[in-house]
Amino acid sequence: MDPLVRVEGLRITARKPTGEAAVLVDDVGFEIPKGEVLALIGESGSGKTTVALSLLGYARPGCRIESGRIVVDGIDVLSLDDEGRYGLRGRKVAYIAQSAAAAFNPMKPLMDQVIEAALIHGTATRAAAEAKAVALFADLALPDPGGIGRRYPHQVSGGQLQRLMAAMALITDPGLVVLDEPTTALDVTTQIEVLRAFRAVVRDRGATAVYVSHDLAVVAQMADRIVVLNGGRARESGTVDQVINHPRDEYTRRLVAAAAPQPRGEPRGAVETPLLEVRALVAGYGRLDRDGLPAARVLEDIDLTIARGAAVGVIGESGCGKTTLARVIAGLVPAARGDVRFDGQPLPTDLRHRSREQFRRIQIVFQNADTVLNPAHSIERILARPLAFYRGLRGEAARARIAQLLDLVKLPASVASRRPSELSGGQKQRVNLARALAADPDLILCDEVTSALDTVVGAAILDLLADLRRELGVSYLFISHDISTVRAVCDEVVVLYAGRKVDAGDRAAMGHPPFHPYADLLIASVPALRIGWLDALPRRLAASLPPVGEALDEGLCPFLPRCAVRRAGRCDTTPAPKQVLPGGREILCHVSLDELARIQSGGAA
């Protein structure tokens, strides 16, 4: 039987602003038999999205499909005229974009947008399309399938929106569905639900799909075959089992290795002088009430100690308050209650009361290297400022130190004269780090420093952080949503949920049960690089969970609405106690630790 999709010798070029042509995709070819899922995997700039979009006969502005052949369901896509493409898109080939939040029109109800393609292409009457949409909503495990279509995009969660987008794509029963990083922007706990839903509908309907992703572990759950792209060329292609378990290409091997971060650096003993101590911290945003508490409290009663030279990781999903914690320590957000001590001295939480020396010793490295370097300044100027500001270094001395710093973060000295826009994401993150190091700090607050980077580049940054800690003895507060990253670099891990510290312990203790139920969910939700991982997931993670931040009575366990092991009559009436294990392990939960350990090791695959 002929394959549904055949791509041959695809070559796509772009014209740079300077006029010269750049080859984005060169000589890529693959086939997809009907009913199979093909994954396109690679880092940013590998051309994976460009290839995926070409299946719709689309090249982004400035790009041109130069040569090659794309046949989808017997249609030669590249020879189509405007009208032909109009009939193809949304009808034969549907596209699911990375950011559903950006792809929906906020002014129209969801149902109108979901069935739009069916109405445009005239495949169904309005009533029939709506009925079909409701059935799709149910298949995608959306809550209230009959009513959700009347809501507007801002009234549903990110994970739900992503599934609604899948419904939008499937409404015309397209022959081919293109999914472009559909879960990359989601929290791991949400990602699981979306992946489950996607796979169920893809399987049940026998849809043929192209799944674009940078995440091998996710792809292992979703795809039948993988094409590994790098620099616009196909490096390797084969079945999922072949590529993941027996990679032949050097680049693929690096990709597989980076998917499972190895621990870096030896864990350190606990008995050392604390460098940073946070006690009973309460912080938030908005107007202060009469008691001096902010309207929106983001952090609630946080204790945290960082020993000199130690690395403490803070994890939690978006909105849990981890970034706010770093901002309070950096002085960007005032604390409403509690105190912060740095090296034995109280640390004012208001910027204006800090000394320059205190500023120097605590440096913050922000998440997004694209926006954290002033685009109007050269790298040299960016790095020279902290040198001049904190240490009065100028001229030749400053230039020598800049060269040293660039060397320390493994960047060539020639970078100094460039602007941030001329650097890659990984290079910018290194400059970002070098700027913090320029101050010779004692503590570096790393806020999601690898989240925006590709796996391979992120792994290199993690190595760098571990090296720097060994060589310079700096301490880290390492914030991430990815527990495997945190476990790879940190001695201690703190789990935040809705602004509360629900679980904390050293790296070894965080490797096995008991966990706080939320930590358990978080850990089990990280996709493993193993075929069939998604199917083997324990049922206790399966419940469709409402989002964080529901209004709860003061003091009750914030995780209660999502908790699979909650105890009626206890959890919903009294605040959860802090249970302490030997070795400094703390878990905020009613359920006894023995019982937690029993449930979690029993269910875990």
Contact residues for another protein (CB under 8 A)? 17, 330-332, 351, 354, 356, 359-360, 363-364, 366, 368, 371-377, 385-386, 389, 421, 435, 439
Nearest to another protein of 268, 381 (CB atom) = 381
Min CB(281)–another protein separation in Å:
18
Residues 6+ apart with CB under 8 A from 209: 37, 38, 176, 177, 178, 179, 202
Helix residue ranges, H only, 156-239? 158-170, 188-204, 216-222
Q: In the bound complex, what is the minimum distance in angstroms from residue 432's beta carbon to another protein?
A: 8
Backbone phi and psi for residue 456, each to the nearest 5 degrees, phi listed first: -65, -45
DSSP string covering 505-542, please? Answer: EETTGGGSS---HHHHHHHHHSPPSSTTTTTT--GGG-
Residue 435 or 590 with smaller CB distance to another protein: 435
- Residue 48 corresponds to which amino acid? K
Backbone angles phi, psi at 129, to 5 degrees: -65, -40
Nearer to another protein, 234 or 306 (CB): 306
Measured from the CB atom, is 132 or 435 closer to another protein? Answer: 435
Angstrom CA distances, 81 to 73, 78, 84, 461, stand at 17, 8, 5, 46
Between 330 and 563, CB nearer to another protein: 330
**d(C-alpha 402, C-alpha 501), whole Å:** 39
Q: Which is nearer to another protein, 95 or 366 (CB)?
A: 366
As measured in angstroms, the least distance from the Cβ of 410 to another protein is 21
Query: Between 213 and 363, whose beta carbon lies closer to another protein?
Result: 363
Q: Residue 348 Cβ, how far from another protein at the closest point, in Å? A: 12
Residues 6+ apart with CB under 8 A from 423: 379, 415, 431
Q: What Å distances lie between residue 267 and 165, 307, 443, 493, 509, CA to CA? A: 44, 12, 17, 12, 12
At closest approach, how far in Å is the CB of 125 from another protein? 42
Q: Are 188 and 482 in contact (CB under 8 A)?
A: yes
Distance CA(176)–CA(91), nearest Å, equals 9
Minimum distance, C-beta of residue 19 to another protein, in the bound complex (Å): 8
Distance CA 314, CA 324 (A): 11
What is the Cα–Cα distance from 605 to 602, expressed in whole angstroms? 8
CB of 326 to another protein, least distance (A): 10
Q: Closer to another protein at the Cβ: 342 or 366?
A: 366
Decide whether 14 or 260 has the Cβ nearer to another protein. 14
In 254-309, the DSSP E strands lie at 274-288, 294-307
Dihedral pair phi/psi, residue 209, rounded to 5°: -140, 155
Shortest Å distance, C-beta 390 to another protein:
8
φ, ψ of residue 565 to 5 degrees: the values are: -115, 20
Helix/strand/coil for 181: coil
Task: State in angstroms the smallest separation of the CB of 394 from another protein.
Answer: 15
Residue 136 half-sphere exposure, CB side, CA atoms within 13 Å?
Answer: 25
Least separation in angstroms between residue 254's CB and another protein is: 30
DSSP secondary structure letters along 7-24 = EEEEEEEEE-TTS-EEEE
Give the distance, in angstroms, between the CA of residue 141 and the centroid of all CA atoms in the same chain: 23
Shortest approach of another protein to residue 38 CB, angstroms? 31
CB of 330 to another protein, least distance (A): 5
Whole-angstrom distance, CA of residue 469 vs CA of residue 277: 20
The DSSP annotation for 376-394 comes to TS-HHHHHHHHHHHHH---
CB 424 to another protein: min, Å: 17
CA 346, CA 464: separation in Å to the nearest integer?
31
Q: Which is nearer to another protein, 322 or 435 (CB)?
A: 435
Nearest residue (CB) to another protein, 67 versus 371: 371
Looking at this protein, which amino acid is placed at residue 349?
Answer: T
The CA distance from 605 to 601, in Å, is 8
Closest contact distance (angstroms) between CB of 266 and another protein is 30
Give the shortest CB-324-to-another protein separation in angstroms. Answer: 13
CB of 591 within 8 A of CB of 598?
Answer: no
Residue 325 and residue 332: Cα distance in Å, rounded?
A: 10
Spatial CA neighbour of 134 closest among 157, 112, 111:
111
| CA 105 and chain centroid, separation | 24
Nearer to another protein, 111 or 393 (CB): 393
Find residue 237's DSSP bridge partners. 227
- Residue with smaller CB distance to another protein, 161 or 329: 329
C-beta closer to another protein: residue 356 or 539: 356
Whichever of 86 and 389 has its CB closer to another protein, that residue is 389
